[in-house]
Structure 1
């Protein structure tokens, strides 16, 4: 006769049910307690959920801030070719389901590469973009990297926020060697 295995036997024993209940209670505590508002009680309990931090059960909800970001940022490249034509390169768009993960990484890249302390990456970025836009096997003669941003107005009770439109600043120009 099949008795269902050791898990079933453990759950039928009083000691087994107590162990399972204890595991459920501790896990629930580790998930809920770190998310209680800051207080003296939370500070006292903090050492009790250190194992939860190691196992990844503690969730950081700080991303849901009462002060949302007031700007959207973007990086765009203007490419100029020998014949005088101009083309633009923008971060690729991906499908909203699976592509969202790739899109997120591109947005994080944009946030960083546009910063002045990332200037050592600008030449490589412009060369890579030039390689992506070969025309008849020829690179563009120049690539201008452009910082773009929109300042968002705060939400008001009078209706939806109105964006002020894109601002632009050219921060790097790469030119092809003759």
Structure 2
């Protein structure tokens, strides 16, 4: 800014700068700033503690300050949640000649990240959406049969294996659930 208004603002900023510097250099200012930093770190830490007696005790005490300042946000979304099950989706196509063809989506599919990501998304959609199950079943049926062959039944199975805790070895408990079953001879 130019002219008289510019000079007024310049003088005000210099006064604020010196006032801020005097406050920061004073013992009261240093105690106040240190207390503020400690409070912010304490609230952030308590809000992100795992569920415990300490958290249950401190949250009610710190809640008014945390909500008033917006410090109550949890950062748990950024911590990895260890996988507890290994899910495998099998699409089984039973042929009219008695053969069974199996097509598998494994959760631990490795390879290029965007490819593995797409397989995981496909698996998630198969688990959530009945229409996707039907579409995938028919797609797999088309991919696994030749034009001269006929499928009698198509079935989607979810096989979930509970993973043992870290340090333990051996297979975990496995559950099997039928997600989709269509008898192609009867259309049911």
**TM-score (norm. length: structure 1):** 0.53
Question: Which SS does the other structure have where 1:87 is aligned?
Answer: strand
Choose from 41, 56, 80 the match for 2:94. 80
How far apart are 1:101 and its partner, in Å?
A: 3.9
Aligned 8 A contact 1:130 1:140 in 2: no
Is the aligned partner of 1:144 residue 2:158?
no
Instruction: Note the alpha carbon deviations across 1:10-68, whole angstroms, 9 max, x for none.
Output: 9xx4649x7xx89x948756643412441422221123333245xxx521279758xx8
1:41 matched to 2:58? yes
Unmatched 5+ residue regions in structure 1? Answer: 1-8
Match of 1:5 in 2: none
Per-residue deviation, 1:143: 0.8
Query: 1:126 maps to what in 2?
Result: 134
Larger helix share, 1 or 2: 2
Unaligned runs of 5+ in 2: 1-12, 25-32
The verdict on how the C-alpha distance between 1:52 and 1:91 changes in structure 2, with shifts beyond 3 A counting, is farther
Question: For the Cα contact (< 8 Å) 1:144–1:174, is it kept in 2?
Answer: yes
Number of aligned residue pairs: give it: 149
| Aligned ranges 1:7-156 → 2 under 5 Å | 13=17, 15=20, 25=37, 31-36=44-49, 37-50=54-67, 51-52=70-71, 57-60=73-76, 64=81, 69=84, 71-91=85-105, 93=109, 95=111, 97-106=113-122, 108-109=124-125, 112-113=127-128, 121=130, 125-134=133-142, 135-136=145-146, 140-153=151-164
Give yes or no for the alignment of 1:175 onto 2:183: yes
Tell me the equivalent position of 1:162.
170
